[in-house]
Chain A
C-alpha cells in the first residue's frame, strides 16, 4: 500500500478533535457518533431515505469557501471524514441556548415524537446557512419568503406532524446574525482532504492523495471498491451485509473535480456531487436543471456524485436518461491510459458496463450546443425523493416545424438505461405535429422490456412511455 497514515485518524466533532479510535473500517458516521454518546442523530432506515441521521459537514462551497453541508450519517463511513469537521444537533445548540433553527422548530410544534427532529434540525440548518438564501422574496409553495427551499428537507421524513409546522418553522427563519460562529466559519476554507489509511480485521479503507495512486491500486487489487458519497455503498453495507476488503475514497481528488463550461463542451468531474453540479451549472443545462430536484433528496445529492450514479450501472439511476439525451461521453481512466466512450455504448447489461475493473470514470463531457427543446420526466409513486418507475430525458431540435434531431434516453424499462432509437427515428425528418407525435408515442410505448415489480406494473411502465411523448409535446405547445 502506498498511502500511509501519518497520524491517527480523527474528526473534529462539534469543535472537538476526536480520534476515530480502534474501530472496524466500515463503521458509519452514525454508529461512531452514537458510540461516543452523541445520540441525537438516529437510525430510522439505514439507507439514506429518512434523514433522522442528518449531520453537518464543512465542505468546499460554491459561493463561500465553506458550506455547511447536510449528509446522511448512516451512509458515510467515519473513515471518509478523517480530518474533517462535523456538527451534530447537540453541537448547534443546547436546551438552555437553542440555535435559531431549534427555537423555531420547538415553539411552532415542529416536533412531536422528536425522533426525526435532530435530523430535520441539521438539514434545516444547512439551508439556513446556504449562502444564496436571502430574505425578502415572495416565495411560492416550495420556497419561503426567506428564500428557504423546501426541497432542502426532501430527504427528511416525519411520521407525526404532517410537516406543516416544520414548513412554518423553516419559513420563519431570518438571516444568520453576522457574529454567528457557524456563519463566520463559512468564510474560511474547509479542512484540506487528508490522505487516509485505516485497517481493521474487516478490511482496509484508503484515501490516496492522487488519481495516479488510485489507478495503481485499482490495477493491483481486484477486490477494490470505489467510494465517493457512499450513497450506494452505504446501503450495501447496512442492508445487504456487504463488507468490502478494500475501500478507496476518491471524492476529494482534484483530478476528478474538474468543472468547465466551454464553447464546445461542458466538462464535469466524476467526483463532483449532484449538488455541486446543480449549483455551478445554475440552470445553464436546462435538462439537468429539471432533473436535479427530482433526483433523490438534497441529503443524497450532497453526497452522491455523477460518476457514482453512472458507475453503478443501475438501470434506474436518474442521470442516465438525461445524459443519454444530452449525448454525453465519458472519459475512462486507468493506469493504462485514458479512453473516451459514448454513454450510449457504455451500458452492456444489468449493472454491467464497458468499464474495466481497473478503470475509473474521470470526466463526463456534454457536447454543445444543447438542443433547444428538452425535458426530464420521472414517474414515481412519490414526487419528492423516490426511485423512478420510469424516467425519460428528451433533447429535441425542431427547425421550421420539422424535427431535425431527437435524442431520447430511457430508464426503468430494461436491464440497462437505453436510447429510444426507434422513437427517435419515427420523429426525425417529420413535422413536429400531433399526428407525428401520436405515431411516435405508439412506437415509444413498445420500447424496452419493462417488468412488473412493487414500484409499477409493466403495463403502466409501457403506458408511461407512450404518454410521456404526448406530455412533452402538449406541454411544449402549451408553453
Chain B
C-alpha cells in the first residue's frame, strides 16, 4: 500500500457524514455570493445590453440616454478597459465586443443604484447593428467549413483493412443535443476596491485563480493586486469553470471606475442566453463487427459544436475522442475530431467534459446494431468489455479492467436482472399499448486533467496554540462535498476529532495558482495537498511527542486527539501543540501535490493522461406509453467504483445526482435554438425554467438502488479513494437504451430503433411509431 493511499487507525475518512454545511443549508443561513449584497453598503447593480442578432457588427453605441434614467451611475464600454478587452485565456472573447457573435451577447453594461434603474438604463442605451450572415446549427457550420481551434486525429491499427475483413459493417450519423447547466444559483460576482486600488472579488467560480488572472488582465493589474474568494456555489457542474471570469471582470471594472462595490448577478434568462453549455456533437461513423459480436474496427468523425469562441472546446474534444471506446476493446480505431464555430453561446465544460459525448456515440452504435447482429444488447456490451492487459486506443493500459465485470455481475445479481428480463417479456406480450424495457450500460472514465500541468494542488494548514486546526485549499465547494471530504482528510492525517478542524473559504491569497475544481479531481488533488501539509506538521509534532514520551518519533501515533506511543503512554493533542509552540516548532505548513506518472502527447493523441479509471454499471427499467411516448423510470440499480470511499454519504449523493442529471440530458432537457431565417434567428427558445425542463421528482427512479463497489482500494490516490463527480453521469446511458428497448418492443422482433437525443416523449413516440410500422434502422 502506498503512503498516499494507506489509512491510519480510526480514520475519519470513510465515515458517512452529512455535508459540512448541511445545518446552514437547511436553515437558509449558508451564504452565497449574492447574499453578501445586503451586507455591503452603497452597492451598484449591473445590467447588460444584449444583442438581438445572432451575428452583427455594432455600428453605433449611444450610452447617453441611459444617464438620463434616474439612478444610473455609469455605463461600461470598451473604452473603459485599462488592460486587455478580453474575458478568456485564448484571447478570442472580447469583454465588450465590436462584433456581436450570438443572440444575447452583451455589448455593454449599465451600473445603477438599484437593479430596476440598471434595467431601465440598459433599455435606454441605443445600439445600431449591421446584421451579418450567421451559422446556427452544427450542420450549417460543417457545410460552411466553419471551424475553430485545432482538429485532432487518434488512430490505432489498420481501420481500412479491419473494416474490409469484418463480417458486419454498419454506418450511421448521430447528432445530439447539448445541455444547460442550470445550477440553481446563476452567475454572480461582487467586487470591492480598497485604498490601494486593490480588488477583492467574491465570485461564484470553480476557478478562482483564473478569475483572478482575467480580472487582472482586464484591469491592467498584476495578480497580486486582485484577490478572488468563493464562499460556496449553488451548483457549478463545469458551468463556472471558465464562464465566471468575464462577469467578475465587469464587476471589478465597475468598482474601479466608480469606487463603489459592484454586484453583478445574472437572472435566469440572462444566464441561459449568455453563458456556455454542454457541447452538442455531430458524429458520423462506420463500425465493423465479427460474427461473434466483437467489435473489430471503428472509424468516426466527431464535430463538437463549440459556439462562438473556443473556450474549453479543445480539451472537451480531446476527452470525447479519448472516451469513444467507453468500456470496450476496439482493436482498430480511427477518430477525427473538429470544433465547429457557430453563432451560439460559447459551449464549455459540463460534468464529464466531452467524455459523455464520446461515450454516447459508441453506446448508440451498440444499441442500434445489437438487433441487426442478432444479439441481445446486454450480451453484446458484455462481450466487448476490456479485459486485463488491454490498452486504450491512445495507448494507456486499462488497469483494473476486471472491475467492469465485477460491477456488471453484481448489478445482474443485486438487480435480479435475469428474472426481470423474463417478467418484462411476459408483460410486453400481455400489453399492446404499453411496453417495458431494460438496459444495462457500463462506464469507464479516465481521471486526471488531460493537460498534465493542471494536475497539481496546494493547501495551507494552520494549527493554533489551542490545538484547533484551520485548513485552506485551492478547491471550491459547489455542493459536491469537497470541503466535507477535506475536513475528514485533515482530521484523519492529524489524528484529531473532526470538530477540531475548521475550513476557511477558498481564496487566491491563501493558496495561489490553483487549478479549476473540475475533472472530478477536487478531492484527489486537494486532499493529497492537505494530507501533505498535515503530515509536515505531524512529523514535527512527533519529534516533540517522542521527546515527551521518551520514545522514537517514528513510534508516535496520532489517534482521535490522543498522541501516544506503542506502550500506551500518551499526551493529549492540545497539550502537545502547546508544548510544540513553547519549543518554537512551526505549527503551520503549506502542502503541495502533483499527480505522478502522467504523460500525454496532445498532437499525437498518445500517452497515459489518466491516473486511473473509474468504473460503474447501471441497469434501468422503463415503461413507455404507446399512445403518447411518455415514460416512467421504474427501477435503477447501480454498482459504482469510488475506490475506498472518503465519505460514503457524499459519494452516494454524487452517484445519484450525476445519474439523474445524465438522464435529464439524454431524455428531457431540450435546448432549442431558433434555426429559422426570421428575426429571432439564433435566439435560445428555451431560455427559462418554464420551457427548459430539468428532471423533477417525476424523473426520479421509483426504485433507486446504489451500491459502492467493495474492495476497491485505489493505490494511487488519497486514502485509497477515487474521484466521483463526473463518472456517474454516464450511467444514465442505461435509461436511454432502456427506452430504445421498450420502443423496439412495439415492433417485430429484431427491430433496430434509431433514437434521437434527448429522447423526449415526442422523440420516443415517433421511434415507437416507426417500430410499430415495421420500420427498422438498417445501418
A residues sitting closer than 8 Å to B (CB atoms) are 24, 34-47, 49-50, 52, 88-90, 92-95, 98, 101-103, 105-118, 121, 141, 150, 153-154, 156-165, 167, 235, 238-239, 241, 379-387, 389, 453-457, 460, 463-464, 467-468, 470-471, 474
Contact = CB atoms under 8 A, between A and B. Distances in A.
Given A39-B31, A115-B185, A164-B656, A95 B23 contact: yes
A157 B696 contact: yes
8 nearest A-B pairs in the assembled complex, by CB-CB distance: A40-B28, A113-B479, A115-B234, A114-B25, A49-B689, A162-B660, A89-B28, A112-B479
A161 B26 contact: no
B19 A112 contact: yes
Given A106-B18, A382-B698, A454-B685, A89 B27 contact: yes
Interface stretch (B302-310, B553-561, B760-768): B760-768
A471 B765 CA distance: 14
Given A109-B652, A111-B26, A111-B479, 9 more contacts: A50-B184, A88-B28, A102-B23, A111-B22, A113-B236, A141-B702, A159-B657, A162-B657, A379-B630
B455 to A, nearest CB: 25
A117 B656 contact: no
A384 B688 contact: no
B592 interface: no
A151 B22 CA distance: 24
Contacts of A102: 23, 26-27
Interface in B234-248: 234-237
A380 B699 CA distance: 13
A413 to B, nearest CB: 15
Interface string B1-39: 000000000000000001101111111111110010011
Contacts of A460: 762, 765-766
A381 B19 contact: no
A301 to B, nearest CB: 15
Contacts of B58: none
B778 interface: no
Nearest to B478: A113
B751 interface: no
B182 interface: yes
Nearest to B268: A45
A383 B433 contact: no
B184 A95 contact: no
Contact of A90 (B29, B39, B700): B29
Interface residues of B, number: 81
Contacts, number: 248
A113 B233 contact: yes
Contacts of B32: 42, 115
A160 B28 contact: no
25 contacts: A36-B38, A37-B39, A39-B38, A40-B27, A42-B234, A46-B267, A49-B688, A103-B26, A105-B26, A106-B25, A106-B26, A109-B19, A111-B25, A111-B26, A112-B657, A116-B184, A118-B25, A157-B694, A161-B653, A162-B704, A163-B660, A164-B704, A167-B700, A381-B668, A457-B762
Nearest to A92: B27
Given A46-B267, A102-B27, A467-B628, A153 B697 contact: yes
Contact of A115 (B123, B184, B694): B184
Nearest to B769: A463
A165 B660 CA distance: 13
A124 to B, nearest CB: 10
Nearest to A88: B28
A383 B38 CA distance: 38
B698 A154 contact: yes
Given A109-B19, A167-B697, A381-B670, A117 B25 contact: yes
Contacts of B182: 159
A113 B28 contact: no
Contacts of A453: 685
Contacts of B479: 111-115, 160
Nearest to B628: A379
A471 B630 CA distance: 13
Contact of A47 (B650, B689, B697): B689
B672 interface: yes
Given A42-B234, A113-B184, A165 B22 contact: no
A46 B268 contact: yes
A474 to B, nearest CB: 6
Contact of B19 (A114, A457, A470): A114
A111 B19 contact: yes
A162 B656 contact: yes
Given A95-B27, A454-B685, A456-B762, A154 B235 contact: no
Interface in B455-500: 478-481
A43 B267 CA distance: 8
B697 A121 contact: no
Nearest to B24: A95
Contacts of A162: 653, 656-661, 695, 700, 704
Given A44-B184, A113-B232, A239-B269, A381 B689 contact: no
Given A49-B689, A118-B28, A154 B697 contact: yes
Contacts of B433: 471, 474
A48 to B, nearest CB: 8
Nearest to A107: B18
A38 B29 CA distance: 9
A46 to B, nearest CB: 6
Contacts of A380: 761
A92 B26 CA distance: 10
Contacts of A52: 184
B633 to A, nearest CB: 10
B509 interface: no
A109 B22 CA distance: 8
A106 B28 CA distance: 12
Contacts of A101: 26
B697 A384 contact: yes
Contacts of B656: 161-162, 164-165
B24 A113 contact: no
A299 to B, nearest CB: 12
A238 B625 CA distance: 37
Nearest to A97: B27
B116 interface: yes
B119 interface: yes
Interface in B28-84: 28-32, 35, 38-39
B627 A470 contact: yes
Contact of B28 (A50, A90, A165, A239): A90
Contacts of B686: 454
- Most-contacted residue by chain B among A38, A150, A239, A382 (CB, 10 A): A382
B690 interface: yes
Contacts of B25: 105-106, 111, 114, 117-118
Contacts of A154: 696-698
A44 B688 CA distance: 10
Given A382-B693, A382-B696, A112 B653 contact: yes
Contacts of A37: 38-39
A210 B620 CA distance: 57
A388 to B, nearest CB: 12
A313 B697 CA distance: 30
A438 B210 CA distance: 63
A455 B23 contact: no
A112 B119 contact: no
Interface in B633-688: 649-650, 652-653, 656-661, 668, 670, 672, 685-686, 688
A154 B653 CA distance: 20
Given A154-B698, A471-B628, A41 B185 contact: no
B630 A455 contact: no
Contact of B694 (A88, A114, A159, A383): A159
B691 interface: yes
A159 B237 contact: yes
A243 B267 CA distance: 18
B410 interface: no
A205 B10 CA distance: 63
Contact of B22 (A34, A90, A106, A115): A106
